[in-house]
Amino acid sequence: MSELLSVLQRCGIAVGEIQGGALAVRSPVDGAELARLRETSPDEVNGSIAKSAAAFLKWRMVPAPVRGELVRLWGEELREARRDIGWIVSIEAGKIIEEGLGEVQEGVDICEFALGLSRQLHGKTIVSERPGHRIMEQYHPLGPVAIITAFNFPSAVFAWNAALALVCGDPVIFKPSEKAVLSGLATFRALERAIARFGDRAPDGLAQIVIGSAPLAEMLVESPSIPLVSATGSTRMGRIVGPKVASRFGKRILELGGNNAMVVTPAADLDMAVRAILFSAVGTAGQRCTSLRRLIVHRSVKAALLAKLLKAYADLRIGNPLVAGTLVGPLIDQRAFDALQHAIATAQQQGGKVLAGGQRMLAEEFPNAWYVRPAIVEMPAQTAIVREETFGPLLYVLAYDAFDEAIAIHNDVPQGLSSCIFSNDLREVETFLSAAGSDCGMANVNIGPSGAEIGGAFGGEKETGGDRESGSDAWKQYMRRTTNTINFSKELPLAQGINFS
C-alpha cells in the first residue's frame, strides 16, 4: 500500500483524494481495495460542461501550432511518468508490466503525432466551375469533447482522444472507467502539469475530469453543449449512447466490442502464426477489444497448428502481472470470470470440445482475484456463442475447407473490429484485403489482430461502431468543416449555368 501511495503521489494524486469516497477501486491482482474516491456530483458535471463551453471560445482562437506545444509538453510529462503510470495500469487493470508501460508509450506517441498534426490541419482547394471563383475547405475547432473510456485501456484511449481534440481546438471532459479510475486520473494529472507549464495561454476548464459511473457519463452524452462524444466500451453501452447523441444531432466516435479472427491457410508459416495467436489470444488475459477470439484454420493444417498451440498454452506463465516474466495476468473481476465460464459451458452445449484451459488458477494465493488458464474450444460450426464477444482468454477454433468458406465464416459475426490472415499465398492475402475479403476496420497480414500502432486509423465496422480514432485522418472528426466559395470576379454567375434574370 505504501508503494501505491508514493507512486500516486509522484503522479500528483494526494492521499486525501483516494480516501473516504463512495467509489471503491479494487485491484484485480489480489482483489484488495486500492482507493475510495469521491464521485463528481451532478451539479459539478453541469459546472464542468459550462466551463468547457467557455474555455472553447478562447481555445479555438489559439493558433493550432501553439496548441501543439501543449500536447508536446503533455508527451514530455507522460514520458517522465511512464514507469509510474504503467505500474498503476498494471495494478489497477491487471495488465503485465510490459503492457502497462506500452500503454503509456501510446500516449507519448499520440502526443508526438498530434504535435506534427498541429501544423497540418488543412483542407483542400477545389477548382470552381465558375470563372473568377475559388472553392476551399477549412477545418475549424468543434467544441467540447466528452471522452468516456473502458477499463482495459484506462490511459491510452484518453490520450488518443485528448491529444487530437486539444490540437484541433477542443476542450475535453474525461470520464474514465469506474473500474480503472486511478490510471485515468494519473494520465489526466500529467496533462494538468503540462497545462500549468503552458501557462495562461490555456483557458480555465480546458481539460476536466468527471469521476463516477454511467449516470454521470450520460449527462455528458445528453448535453447539447458537447458536440462530440467519444465513447469506448461494450456494444451494450454503444447501443445506449449512440441513439442519445444522434437524437440531439451530436457527433459521436463509438469504439465498441470486437470478435476478432485469424484465418490460417495451408500457405501459412505455422510457427509465426502460433506466436501471433499467443500474444493476441492470451495477452492482457484476452481483455483487449482486439484480442483474438476465433481461429479459422484450414482442415489440412489444423492438427499441426493445434499441436504447437497446445504446447505453447501449456507453458504459459500465469500469475501476478507485477512480477517480471508473467505473461497472463488476472481477469478484471468475478463477473468477467463468470462470463467466461458461462461461454465455455454454452459452447460445450453447442457442440464444442474444450481442448485446453478455462479453470480458475491461484485461488489459494489470491482468493479474491480471478486468474484463469486460457481456454481453447474447438467448435463444429460458428454457433451463437461464438458470435458473441466474451471478454477473456477464450479462443474458438473452427475448420474450413475452401478459402471462400473461411471468409464467409470470418465475416459472419455482428462485430467488425480487427482481423488477420496468416498466409504466404499472394492470391489469398490480396483476396482477404479486398472488397470481397475481411469486413473489419482493420485487416492484417502475417501479424495478429491486436497491438495496433497509433499512426493508423483505429476502429471497426458493424456493432463495433463504425468510427475511427487515433492516426491517419481521424482528427477530422474533432473539427467542423466549412466549404468556402470565393468570387474574385466582377460578375455573379450561378452554378449549373442557371439564368436568374
Residues near ligand NAD (CB under 6 A) are 148-153, 175, 177-179, 213-214, 217-218, 221, 232-234, 237, 240-241, 255-258, 289, 389, 391, 417, 464
396 or 400: CB nearest ligand NAD: 396
Give least dist CB 430 to ligand NAD, A: 26
C-alpha cell at 483: 466549404
Residues 6+ apart with CB under 8 A from 485: 128, 133, 134, 135
Give least dist CB 462 to ligand NAD, A: 12
148 or 379: CB nearest ligand NAD: 148
176 phi and psi, to 5 degrees? -70, 160
106 or 428: CB nearest ligand NAD: 106
Q: Which residues pair with 254 in a beta bridge?
A: 231
Q: Which residues pair with 253 in a beta bridge?
A: 230
Alpha carbons 312 and 326: distance in angstroms, whole number = 14
Q: Which single residue brings its beta carbon nearest to ligand NAD?
A: 233
Alpha carbons 485 and 482: distance in angstroms, whole number = 10
Give least dist CB 464 to ligand NAD, A: 6
167 phi and psi, to 5 degrees? -65, -35
Neighbours of 352 (CB within 10 A): 22
Q: Computed from CA positions of residues 8, 11, 14, 19, in that sequence, does the dihedral angle turn out positive or negative?
A: negative
C-alpha cell at 139: 477545418
Give least dist CB 213 to ligand NAD, A: 5
Give least dist CB 140 to ligand NAD, A: 27
28 or 141: CB nearest ligand NAD: 28
Please report which residue ranges of 321-454 form alpha helices under DSSP H: 334-349, 403-411, 426-433
User: DSSP strand E in 128-273: where?
Assistant: 133-141, 145-148, 172-175, 207-209, 228-232, 251-255, 260-264
Neighbours of 308 (CB within 10 A): 16
CA 206 to chain centre: 23
213 or 359: CB nearest ligand NAD: 213
Give per-residue burial for 78-103: e unless 16+ CB within 10 Å, then b. beebbebbbbbbbbbbbbbbbbbbbb
5 or 23: CB nearest ligand NAD: 23
Give least dist CB 416 to ligand NAD, A: 10
Active site residues: 255
Do the Cβ atoms of 392 and 286 come closer than 8 Å? yes
Give least dist CB 353 to ligand NAD, A: 26
CA 156 to chain centre: 8
Do the Cβ atoms of 118 and 68 come closer than 8 Å? yes
Please report which residue ranges of 315-456 form alpha helices under DSSP H: 334-349, 403-411, 426-433
39 or 178: CB nearest ligand NAD: 178
391 or 403: CB nearest ligand NAD: 391
Nearest Cα to Cα of residue 378 among 366, 404, 396: 396
CA distances from 245 to 45, 193, 445, 478 (A): 17, 32, 36, 15
Give least dist CB 268 to ligand NAD, A: 26
Give least dist CB 281 to ligand NAD, A: 14
Q: Which residues pair with 306 in a beta bridge?
A: none
165 or 241: CB nearest ligand NAD: 241
Torsion (CA) 92, 95, 101, 107 in degrees, nearest 10: -70
